Chains A and B, each alone.
Chain A
Amino acid sequence: MSRITAGLLKWSIFQKHNRLWWQEAFTGYAMALPWLLGFLIFTAGPIILSFYYSFTFFQITKPPSWIGLTNYRILIFDDPKFIKSLYNTAYYSFFVVPLSIVTSLSLALLMNQRIPGRSLFRTIYYLPSVVSGVANAMLWLWLLNPKYGLINAALKLVGIGPIPWLNSAEWAKPAMILMSLWAVGGTMIIYLAALQDVPVHLQEAAEIDGANAIQRFWYVTLPMLSPTILFTIITTTIGSFQVFTQAYVWTQTPGQGGGAGPRDSLLFYVLYLYQRAFGELKMGYASAMAWILFVLILTLTLIQFRISRKYVYYEEGPKGGI
């Protein structure tokens, strides 16, 4: 019976579409072809290949040789630097995600007030996000200079002694975290947009019922923002696990084959992946690292979705979720 239904269904698809429909479809695909080819050749292809390479020893200029799970086995059990890079990255992420969410949300709330010169302030806070990663890193190299940097100069005013920042294994990561907070403008914009969407009638209703500003924020604004918060937590987590540029710029020493800061304190996951891939030509190993990172990020994201059920409020009801 079901066979007949399937057959009928198939027939009806062919019946349903006349020659014109097929022509339109063809033109549509032809138009999309450049993108489609680009995607298949330059994105999907490498992704699939990297999965294959992760089971091989591959130096690019020699055919890969199949070594099964060896790369994964070494990474998980026999590579202290892998653990170190994972620790450094998790440490960074652990601080950056909450700090940048709180900072950008606070900024967005401030920038949502009706204050004079609001557009100017919004522009100023957004500007750092426009600066390219390398320029950013170079600039912060100066800001963080222990003797001449503005950061230590400011700290001195409140009586905090000079911090060696990038010269010390203990302070290098906090320096990175501090710097990342400078570029929260992008997240701030997302929050600003979300704040505009918080219905005024709910605010007014709460106000009439006698809720003060803090209560209105806690019981009205925040729940309405929760889908946006979930979104930014996920994107910031992913971004923080892929941190590379600043560490790369700060640690490159010509002729040393790529450093990683004092006592490997800036050896972040992707930096280590890069060193293995391009410094030592171990592409199979690096591919395995990339896939482990993918699984890690995927797991983290799924956990965040699971947790989010408890706090995210969708106006359309539970089906409105992603």
Chain B
Amino acid sequence: MFKKLVAILSVVLVASMILGACTTPTPQVIKETVVVKEEVEKTVVVKEEVEKTVVVKEEVEKTVEVPAERTKVVFWHIFGSGPSRDAFDQIVSDFNLTNPKYIVEPVYAEFWTYEQKLLADIAAGTPPDVVMTDMTRAGQRAEANQILPLDEYINADKFDMSVFWEYGQKDVVYKGQTWGIPYGPDTRVLFYNKAHFAEVGLDPNKPPTTWDELWEYAHKLDIGEGADLKRVGFNPWWGNSWVLPLLYTTGVELVNPEGPTFNFTDPKVLETAQWYKKWVDYYGKENLDLFASGFGTGAQDPFMSGQVSMIIQVQAYIDDLLTYAPDLDWGVALIPAHTTPASWGAGFDLEIPNGAKNPDGAWEFIKYLTSYDVAVKFSAASGWMPGRKDAAADPQFMSKPGWDVVLQSMAVTRSRPFILECPTWYGPLITAFQEVWDGVKTPEQALADAVAAAETEVANYRAQTK
């Protein structure tokens, strides 16, 4: 008896494994009711000395009949908690209340493991319908058949791509097709301490605009020297900068996707590397390391704590300053330029994975999320940069200090072009700048090595895919 049971069990186990693997993708039809919060007007008779009728607002829970036969749209978001989560929940609930055809099921997927989970689910044929992921790698996913092109939807709806920031428009296009809709871009700007400026006799309303001014102002702002540095005017590595924001202001095209070729030995790049070297030679690497060893987050943030007078950060740092350093007197400026104003940006986009069960519903939800009102509503609550130019210029944001500069910066922001043969082409470039900074290679040598490293990657890729 028992042996039979075991045999049956094992057969069932194997059968269920086989069957589980063969389900066909069909949208899941949902028939259900949801409980939502709604404000209703209620007439209440209030007895006072004079009897009068007033209208009071009261929040009651009410069961709303959801339109029958709606299909489910699964969306993986990265908002675990906090204001962005609250705003996001509200936005999804609005959609679910009003949309006659689709119902969105938001699923929280943790940021750090997002891409691996997505990869596994696409491979298994069970991806969500909408994902939010790194815009600059859309081409990589497109090449690996992981996402769907959106051109048919865009054309059918005459969806206007020109409302999005220029670099976002470029990032989501790969081989002539559009693979995502920009959502949550960013830009880098210079933050400067106005009190420090006034203290050393600089005009607090005239931040540096050129590299020469940046150099000159920084050293006026320095306090102490050598191992006794008490305040540092500026260091190109600190904050959220790396090398691209400053490099882009030289107007250099670092890579040419045709070819591809890498222009790291361009005189402008060389000049930038030498300029970086000038900074480290001025302060001394050990002195800067020692000084930076006290940096941290929160109260130990180098700019908030006044240890550094000027720093490059993403625009969201404005909200951090308003929250954590309300007494600090600061200003925002475009990245001081070598020749042309520019900045570096990255960001997310919304994509539809290959194998999504409900791509039509996914598109509907993407349109909703990127519509003007919804974009403004979400960004106002979360501090995220709207992907749309018009939404970013909404009066709600214009009252934010420095926002006008952020908009100027967004307009000149460039991203990292996607190179299929060498997606991490910026890696060797950053390493080269670190080598120059640490004094282990000359700028010429380091940059030539970086080009060689990137070219080897391309050759290797070609050998693997020929």
Contact residues in A for B115 (Cβ distance below 8 Å): 278
- Which residues of chain A are near B123, meaning CB under 8 Å? 60-61
Does A7 sit within 8 A of B, measured CB to CB?
no
Any chain B CB within 8 A of the CB of A255? yes
A235: Cβ under 8 A from any B Cβ: no
Q: How far is the CA of A80 from the CA of B354 in the complex (A)?
A: 35
**Residues of chain A contacted by B435 (CB below 8 angstroms):** 263
Q: Name the B residues within 8 Å of A61 (CB-CB).
A: 119, 122-123, 144-146, 354
Q: B6 on the interface (CB 8 Å rule)? A: yes
Contact of A280 with B424 at beta-carbon distance under 8 Å, contacts A27-B6, A74-B460, A79-B456 already known: yes
Nearest CB in chain A to that of B140: its residue:
A281
Provide the B426-466 mask, 1 if CB < 8 A to any CB of A, else 0.
01000100110010100000000000010010011001111
CA of A252 to CA of B463, assembled, Å: 29
* Cβ contacts under 8 Å, B242 to chain A: 256
Chain B nearest CB: distance from A59 CB in Å?
Answer: 4
B463 with A148: CB separation less than 8 A: no
CB distance from B438 to the nearest CB of A (A): 6
A3 contacts B by Cβ under 8 Å: no
Could you say which residues of chain A place their CB within 8 Å of the CB of B463?
67, 70, 73-74
Q: Is B293 an interface residue (CB 8 A)?
A: yes
Contacts of A88 in B (CB 8 A): none
CB neighbours (8 Å) of B427 from chain A are: 257
> Scoring B residues 175 to 188 as 1 if CB is less than 8 Å from chain A, else 0, what string do you get?
00000000000000
Q: Which residues of A contact B112 (CB under 8 A)?
A: 252
Chain A positions within 8 Å of B134 at CB level = 255
Is B289 in contact with A167, judged by CB distance below 8 angstroms? yes
Instruction: Report whether A147 and B464 are in contact in the complex, using a CB–CB cutoff of 8 Å.
Output: no
User: CB < 8 Å: which of B137, B144, B466 contacts A60?
Assistant: B144
How many Å lie between the Cα of A264 and that of B365 in the bound state? 41
* Chain A positions within 8 Å of B465 at CB level: 57, 65, 67
Do residues A263 and B434 form an inter-chain contact, with CB atoms below 8 A? yes
Residue B116 CB within 8 A of the other chain: yes
Known: A60-B123, A61-B144, A263-B435. A167 touches B3 (CB 8 A): no
CB distance from A312 to the nearest CB of B (A): 42
The answer to the question of A33 belonging to the interface, with a C-beta cut-off of 8 Å to chain B, is: yes
Q: Which one of B7, B116, B440, B456 contacts A78 once the chains associate, using CB atoms below 8 Å?
A: B456
Closest chain-A Cβ to B367's Cβ sits at a distance in Å of 26
Number of A-B contacts (CB under 8 A): 103
Count residues on chain A whose CB falls below 8 Å from chain B CBs: 47
Q: Are A254 and B111 in contact (CB under 8 A)?
A: yes
Measured between beta carbons, the chain B residues less than 8 angstroms from A279 are 423-424
Within 8 A of A (CB), among B361-391: none
B326 at the binding interface (Cβ < 8 Å): no
Contact across chains for A71 and B464 when beta carbons are under 8 A apart: yes
* B55 interface contact, C-beta 8 A: no
Q: With A145-B293, A257-B423 as given contacts, are A30 and B3 in contact (CB-CB < 8 Å)?
A: yes
- Quick check: B460 and A169 within 8 Å, CB to CB? no
Query: In the assembly, what is the distance between CA of A80 and CA of B134, in Å?
Result: 27
- Roughly how many angstroms separate A173 CA and B396 CA in the complex, as a whole number? 49
Q: Which residues on B sit within 8 Å (CB–CB) of A185?
A: none
Q: Given that A61-B146, A74-B464, A278-B119 are known contacts, is A33 also in contact with B10, CB under 8 Å in the complex?
A: yes
- Show the binding face of B for A, using Cβ within 8 Å: 3, 6-7, 10, 13-14, 111-112, 115-116, 119, 122-123, 134, 137, 140, 143-146, 242, 289-290, 292-294, 296, 346, 354, 423-424, 427, 431, 434-435, 438, 440, 453, 456, 459-460, 463-466
Query: Known pairs A262-B438, A278-B115. 19 more at Cβ < 8 A?
Result: A59-B143, A59-B144, A61-B146, A61-B354, A67-B466, A70-B463, A71-B464, A78-B460, A79-B460, A146-B289, A147-B293, A148-B296, A167-B292, A167-B293, A252-B112, A257-B423, A263-B431, A278-B116, A279-B423
Q: Could you list 12 A-B pairs, sorted by A, with CB under 8 Å?
A: A23-B3, A33-B13, A37-B14, A60-B119, A67-B463, A164-B289, A167-B289, A168-B289, A169-B434, A264-B431, A280-B423, A282-B464
Binding site for B on A (CB under 8 A): 23, 26-27, 30-31, 33-34, 37, 57, 59-62, 65, 67, 70-71, 73-74, 78-81, 145-148, 162, 164, 167-169, 252, 254-257, 262-264, 278-282, 284-285
